[in-house]
């Protein structure tokens, strides 16, 4: 014989199991809060074996957030790297243009004065070095690669947002159908990860900054998952 109990709780961790003489009892926990799809979680408790299993919909909700978070993080990181490489690119171009022999700045009489002549030589040498480094590091190619990565991760992140909205709207969604769809998203994520490369400007400080800003932006969702 089976019995079903509905338990309402303001927190997902609060659960009261009533005594029952049945060998198997079904407990349906109705929760309030943004961390629950449809504010529902099912727990099946077997008195004889002491075994509990959770509603697979909640498990799917949690794992989709992990992929959503990772995609968002990589999107954020690519955006930071694009900004850094663009500063290198623009700085090199400006300095090269200024120190070019035909530029107006190079013709200033100021540079022929004592002291300034050495300054000009240093600037010209720095510009030449940056130009060589710019070409060796393939800066435009790095910007292009990071822009493509940002586009890919942003697209995946947006699709996962829509996917999770659909789970909220229809809490009785088909586990089988949504699992297949999620597997497709995981394959896209795997393909994106394969495109990641080591980057000269990717520092520990930058990764920490990206993660800190993302955690702050998603703090409500993180606390509920």
The reply to whether 90 and 40 lie within a common domain is no
pLDDT cut 70: percent of the chain above it: 56
| Sheet with 24-31: strands ordered across | 2-9, 24-31, 40-46, 51-54
Q: Is 194's pLDDT higher than 80?
A: yes
Question: Residues of the chain with pLDDT > 90: what percent?
Answer: 43
Write 38-43 long-range contacts (CB < 8 A, 24+): 38/168, 38/171, 38/172, 39/171, 40/171, 41/12, 43/15
DSSP sequence for 99-110: HSTTSTGGG-GG
pLDDT above 50: residue 40: no
> What integer pLDDT is reported at residue 53 of this predicted model?
59
Q: What is the mean pLDDT of the chain?
A: 74
Average the pLDDT over 78-102 and give the result.
78
Taking 70 as the threshold, does the pLDDT of residue 74 lie above it?
Answer: yes
Clarify whether residues 133 and 148 are in a common domain: yes
pLDDT recorded at residue 140: 86
Please state whether 33 falls in left (phi above 0), alpha (psi between -120 and 50) or beta: left
Tell me if 34 sits within 8 A of 225, measured CB to CB: no
Q: Can you give the pLDDT at residue 223? A: 78
Same domain, 112 and 159: yes
Return phi, psi of residue 106, to 5°: -70, -20
User: Do both 133 and 149 map to the same domain?
Assistant: yes
- Residue 65 pLDDT greater than 60, yes or no: yes
Quick one: 40 and 136 in the same domain? no
Judge whether 64 and 182 are in contact, CB under 8 Å: yes
CA distances from 46 to 4, 14, 51, 124 (A): 13, 19, 5, 79
Q: Answer yes or no: do 152 and 197 share one domain.
A: yes
107-138 pLDDT per residue, tens: 455 455 566 556 656 666 666 666 666 665 67
- The count of structural domains within the chain is 2
Residue 113's pLDDT is what? 57
Q: Which of 63, 34, 53, 37 is nearest to 181 (CA)?
A: 63
Instruction: Mark whether 116 and 210 lie in a shared domain.
Output: yes
Please check whether residue 81 is in contact with residue 200, taking contact to mean a CB–CB distance below 8 angstroms.
no
Q: Which residues span the domain enclosing 153?
A: 60-224
pLDDT one-digit tens code per residue, 167-193: 999 999 999 999 999 999 999 999 999
């Amino acid at each position: 014989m089976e019995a079903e109990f509905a338990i309402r709780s303001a927190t997902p961790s609060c659960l009261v199991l009533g005594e029952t003489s049945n060998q198997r009892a079904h407990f349906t926990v109705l929760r309030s809060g943004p961390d629950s799809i449809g504010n529902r979680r099912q727990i099946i408790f077997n008195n004889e074996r002491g075994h509990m299993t959770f509603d697979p919909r909640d498990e799917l909700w949690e794992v989709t957030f992990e992929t959503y978070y990772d995609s968002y993080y990589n999107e954020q990181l690519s955006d930071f790297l694009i900004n850094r490489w663009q500063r290198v690119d623009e700085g090199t171009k400006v300095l090269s243009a200024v120190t070019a022999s035909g530029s107006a700045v190079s013709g200033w009489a100021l540079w022929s004065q004592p002291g300034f002549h050495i300054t000009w030589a240093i600037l010209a040498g720095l510009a030449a070095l940056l130009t060589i480094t710019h070409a060796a590091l393939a800066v435009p190619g790095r910007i292009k690669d990071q822009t493509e990565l940002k586009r890919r991760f942003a697209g995946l992140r947006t699709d996962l947002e829509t996917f999770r909205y659909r789970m909220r709207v229809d809490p009785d969604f088909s586990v089988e159908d949504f699992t297949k769809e999620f597997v497709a998203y995981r394959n896209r994520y795997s393909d994106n990860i394969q495109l990641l490369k080591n980057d000269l400007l990717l520092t520990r400080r930058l990764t920490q900054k990206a993660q800190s800003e993302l955690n702050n932006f998603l703090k409500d969702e993180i606390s509920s998952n």
